[in-house]
């Protein structure tokens, strides 16, 4: 099987994006895998620190490997938003394919220094790295002038990101261009595509990542891919689909106590969201 770098480079060259889909239990994972299998798409599975603590780092790797060997699909695993070197070192040692160090709230100098440590450790193990410059935020954390948007100084500074990439040697960069984690009833995130263009101009080789993929308008996603985004992270939309459907299933049949009888509709709901994203990102038939 080709490695993750191969697919990211292919996506960069052909202008499509690989989805990262987060999960914290087997039934969510089932839905994600079914979608990838059906549409023959490479995918990245994501676990945040919290998700991987709930599931277990070893267990996440074992699940990924089990599906990889069973279905023969390019399925990769990323440790998402790791805040400490120690935790990322564990994930690297255990068999994650990629680790994302989120030092975005640190001063640039410290972010660079800590990222370098992670990159050094990951490179030895042949693991890819993702870093972050600029604060991404969540739907609720950035109420600014009555709107859920980020302040200009929170966004990724193109010059700083160029310096960050040069000094750290990180493989990929998560950008803050108006995207935020979660979905907001107050409106979709508005992407600063001009800023993305400037970042791409300065960062030619490294792959660019769009976090907070939930709730971004289809046309904005397409534009971001055209401008060089090759990895898009989705979590909230999967959680919403899973939880809403599961609640409904239990409400309809409150006496049901057999998980394999009440879980399938929630699994299918996750599958549906992932299929839509794969089609939008253009990763169908790219294995």
Selected from 64, 181, 277, 286, the binder of ligand G3H by CB under 6 A is: 181
Taking the complex as a whole, the smallest distance from the CB of residue 38 to ligand G3H amounts, in Å, to 21
Burial of 221-254, coded b for 16+ CB within 10 Å and e otherwise, reads bbebbebbbbbbbbbbbbbbbbeebbeebeeeee
Query: Which of 213, 242, 245, 281 lies at the binding interface for ligand G3H (CB under 6 A)?
Result: 213
Q: Is 234 in the site for ligand G3H (CB under 6 A)?
A: yes
Interface with ligand G3H: number of residues (CB under 6 A): 15
Q: Which stretch binds ligand G3H (CB under 6 A): 109-117, 143-151, 208-216, 278-286?
A: 208-216
Interaction of residue 19 with ligand G3H, rule CB under 6 A? no
Instruction: Kindly tell me which residue out of 161, 233, 245, 283 binds ligand G3H, with binding defined by CB under 6 A.
Output: 233
Position among 212, 225, 274, 278 found at the interface with ligand G3H (CB under 6 A): 212
Please name which of 5, 132, 14, 143 lies closest in space to residue 74, comparing C-alpha atoms: 5
Segment 81-89 long-range contacts (CB within 8 Å, at least 24 positions apart): 81/48, 81/49, 82/49, 82/118, 83/49, 85/114, 85/117, 85/118, 85/121, 87/49, 88/118, 88/121, 88/122, 89/118, 89/121
Using the contact rule CB under 6 A, the part of the chain among 24-32, 63-71, 158-166, 205-213 near ligand G3H is 205-213
Torsion of the alpha carbons at 98, 103, 109 and 113, rounded to the nearest 10: -40
189 touches ligand G3H by CB under 6 A:
no
Using rule CB under 6 A, residue 235 touches ligand G3H: yes
Closest contact distance (angstroms) between CB of 245 and ligand G3H is 17
102 classed as catalytic: no
Q: Which CA distances in Å does 35 have to 20, 193, 221? A: 13, 29, 19
Instruction: Please give the structure tokens belonging to residue 239.
Output: 């959680």
Nearest distance, CB of residue 98 and ligand G3H, angstroms? 12
Asked if residue 236 binds ligand G3H (CB under 6 A), the reply is: yes
Q: Which residues bind ligand G3H (CB under 6 A)?
A: 22, 46, 80-81, 181-182, 211-214, 233-237
């Amino acid at each position: 099987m080709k490695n993750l770098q191969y697919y990211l480079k292919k996506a960069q060259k052909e202008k499509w994006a690989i989805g990262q889909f987060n999960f914290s239990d087997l039934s969510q994972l089932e839905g994600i895998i079914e979608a990838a299998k059906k549409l023959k798409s490479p995918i990245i599975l994501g676990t945040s620190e919290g998700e991987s603590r709930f599931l277990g780092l070893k267990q996440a790797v074992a699940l990924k490997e089990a599906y990889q060997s069973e279905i023969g699909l390019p399925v990769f695993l990323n440790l998402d938003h790791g805040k400490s070197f120690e935790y990322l070192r564990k994930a690297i040692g255990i068999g994650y394919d990629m680790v994302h160090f989120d030092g975005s709230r640190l001063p640039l100098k410290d972010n660079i220094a800590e990222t370098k440590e992670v990159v050094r450790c990951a490179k030895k193990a042949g693991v890819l790295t993702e870093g972050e410059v600029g604060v991404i935020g969540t739907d609720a954390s950035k109420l600014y002038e009555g709107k859920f948007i980020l302040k200009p100084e929170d966004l990724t500074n193109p010059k700083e990101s160029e310096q960050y990439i040069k000094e750290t040697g990180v493989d990929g960069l998560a950008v803050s261009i108006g995207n935020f984690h979660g979905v907001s009833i107050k409106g979709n995130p508005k992407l600063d595509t001009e800023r993305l263009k400037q970042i791409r101009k300065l960062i030619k080789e490294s792959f660019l990542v769009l976090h907070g993929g939930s709730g971004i308008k289809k046309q904005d996603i397409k534009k971001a891919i055209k401008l060089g985004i090759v990895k898009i992270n989705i979590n909230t939309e999967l959680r919403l689909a899973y939880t809403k459907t599961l609640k409904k299933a239990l409400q309809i049949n409150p006496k049901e106590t057999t998980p394999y009888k009440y879980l399938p509709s929630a699994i299918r709901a996750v599958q549906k969201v992932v299929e839509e994203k794969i089609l939008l990102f253009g990763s169908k038939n790219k294995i």
